[in-house]
Amino acid sequence: MHLLRIKILLLLTIGTSILFSCQNTEPTQKELTTKKEKTTLKDAYEEHFLIGTTLSKQHINQEIPKAAALIPREFNAITAENMMKWMNIHPAKDSFDFSMSDKFVALGQQQEMFMVGHTLVWHSQLADYMNEMTDKEALEAHLKNHIETIVGRYKGKIDGWDVVNEALNEDGTLRESIFLKVLGEEYLEKIFRWAAAADPSAELYYNDYNIEQPAKRKGCIEMIKKLQAKGVKIDGVGIQGHWSLLGASIKDIEDSILEFAALGLKVDFTELDITVLPNPWDLKGAEVSQNFEGSPFMNPYPEGLPDSVQVKLANRYQSLFELFVKHKDKINRVTFWGVHDGHSWLNNWPIKDRTNYPLLFDREFNPKPAYFEVLKIGQAIDPPVN
Ligand code: G3I
């Protein structure tokens, strides 16, 4: 009996001390060091969402030493900017070119990056021979082989696939792509199923621009619901995020996060950039075929961004990241479409050879005021303990 009482006392003492040590909120030296060291984007957001960038050929070949150092320091996710697009990876009917995509994957593995394959099925940047593929059976077999070959090659390596890119019109209806015309609406269901079978562990996304806009968002939700009702695996939606200083509105973006998350999907911002140049046509999104004449008026900052605009850009990024942090439980990844301003596609769209400033790093790879805003917001989520 006496022995039993001693045992109970001993257990109680051990239990209490475990409980006490758990309740002790004093940070350990290791925790203190870790929190203070969150001086890069990926570290500042590491417990909340991934911070990504897109890699082009020159990044993968590590041709620019400053970019080669900056990318693994600031980012923990990479997307293939162009090398996995149809015309590059599947340039001839019976041959693939994996030279760049293999290098992309090898670099990503070496740097322990979350890797996104972009993109399996897109109406744009197709190889020329695709225009002749008007036979339903032949196109279907070709598409299946395209997906199985590419996803299968990178099984267990590429973490997520933009299975289909930009399949919707602005009014939310399905785009009249070669895939829709020849195969009918069922092509969507099929490509997701083929991708899931080729790598069951990869995340599968629908990716598009302007899907934060109400009409297109509605169409996107209907399309995804239909796929889900058929038992198709779709893990996330990629809101591209090609925006300007003025739009999209925070309300539309917030509504989109909530509505897409309500479908049980992960929400990713997959191609974020903010144009600061004139847009008299009020173009939204990223329809790559849009092209206009240039003029000095349309290219107002060839020698550098005025401080006043720099501040507007920083404020815009601040509002966006405050929103992302508010909904960090629903957001999985925020990827910038480019590493630095000099590299952005927005220097050439919708007018060629302009000087745009849409990203967080300038042409010399130095962080801009917008970078420090974004960093500060990330650091503040988990305030350092003094
Ligand atoms: O590599 C060739 C080069 O050899 C040639 O001399 C040069 C002449 O124009 O063209 C080079 O290819 C260009 C390629 O970018 C690489 O710089 C293509 O012309 C150009 O069309 C291509 O633009 C890409 C565009 O998609 C179309 O594929 C942009 O880099 C890329 O940022 C952009 O990305 C898209 C996403 O995939 C989907 N969402 C919208 C986003 C922005 O448009």
Ordered per-residue pLDDT tens for the chain, 386 residues: 344 444 443 444 344 344 334 444 555 555 554 555 799 999 999 999 999 999 999 999 999 999 999 999 999 999 999 999 999 999 999 999 999 999 999 999 999 999 999 999 999 999 999 999 999 999 999 999 999 999 999 999 999 999 999 999 999 999 999 999 999 999 999 999 999 999 999 999 999 999 999 999 999 999 999 999 999 999 999 999 999 999 999 999 999 999 999 999 999 999 999 999 988 777 887 788 888 777 878 999 999 999 999 999 999 999 999 999 999 999 999 999 999 999 999 999 999 999 999 999 999 999 999 999 999 999 999 654 55
Residue of the CA atom closest to atom 14 of ligand 1: 82
- % of the chain beyond a pLDDT of 70: 89
Distance 315 CA to ligand 1 centre (A): 29
Give CA torsion, residues 14, 18, 19, 24, to 10 deg: 140
Q: Per residue in 87-97, pLDDT tens?
A: 999 999 999 99
Q: Which among 120, 288, 337 is the best mutation to test ligand 1's pocket, defined by most ligand atoms within 8 Å of the CB?
A: 288
Q: What is the pTM assigned to this prediction?
A: 0.90
What are the tens digits of pLDDT across the range 213-226? Answer: 999 999 999 999 99
Give the pLDDT of residue 266. 97
The pocket around ligand 1, CB under 6 angstroms, is made up of 81-82, 85, 125, 165, 240, 271, 286, 288, 345
**Residue bearing tokens 């920083």:** 314
Among the options 74, 81, 166, 203, which is catalytic?
166
Quote the CA–CA distance of 266 and 190 in Å, as a whole number: 21
How is 237-279 classified by DSSP, letter by letter? Answer: EEE--EEESS-S-HHHHHHHHHHHHTTT-EEEEEEEEEE-S--
- CA-125 nearest atom, ligand 1: 28
Residue position matching structure tokens 């169409």:
219
Task: Retrieve residue 42's tokens.
Answer: 């990926």
Cis bond leading into 65, ω under 30°? no
176 included as an active-site residue = no
